[in-house]
Amino acid sequence: MKRAVHASAIALALLCGPVLGNEALTGPAVVLDGDTLRLKDAVVGLFGIAAPAPEQTCEGATGLPVACGADAAQALAGHIGAASVVCEPRGLDRHRRPVALCRVGGEDLSAWMVARGHAVADRLSAPDYVPQETKAWATRRGLWAGVFEEPSRRRVDASAPARMASLTR
């Protein structure tokens, strides 16, 4: 029940939140999921990546289910902590949500999430993140330790058959 309420709150925030303008936003951020922040009154996706949905589970290295969506959100929140985030708008993603290149202390949060295996690179919009993804895959970090449903595929159509990613990319 708690996860359903959390997912509903994110959906409502995405629908009702103001659209990110052309100016950079700076300040404390609230992590809504592994690739979505609320900064001031704007809800913004992290540019160039897709992370598992909050309720998504994956198969871990031992073959047991892992709450990979919750893990991704917790990792991002822990990394940001109380630091100020700077988000520079990059337009809309293919799902029509505002996205931005967000940094903490100059560090690209999208690159950080992909490098640790908590998200995958959107190869169409951000090929610069592919090397981080390749290294995460090669070292079996995060999602790449087991088997998972491709996060970007999951968002496109939750009812479509899952396309699984695993150690055999």
State how far the Cα of 35 lies from the Cα of 90, in Å rounded to an integer: 14
Q: Which domain range does residue 97 map to? A: 2-165
Mean pLDDT score, 88-109: 92
Which has the closest alpha carbon to 145: 35, 38, 61?
A: 61
Residue 97 in tokens: 């949500």
Check which CATH number belongs to the domain holding 22 and give it.
2.40.50.90
Backbone angles phi, psi at 161, to 5 degrees: -60, 140
Report residue 151's pLDDT band, with 50, 70 and 90 as the boundaries: confident
Which has the closest alpha carbon to 110: 96, 125, 95?
A: 125
Residue 154 one-letter amino acid: R
Render pLDDT for 13-33 as a digit per residue (tens, 0 to 9). 433 344 456 789 999 999 999
pTM of the model: 0.79
Q: How many structural domains does the chain have?
A: 1
Backbone angles phi, psi at 26, to 5 degrees: -135, 140
Mean pLDDT score, 114-131: 94
pLDDT at 20: 52
In whole angstroms, what separates CA 103 from the centre of its chain? 14
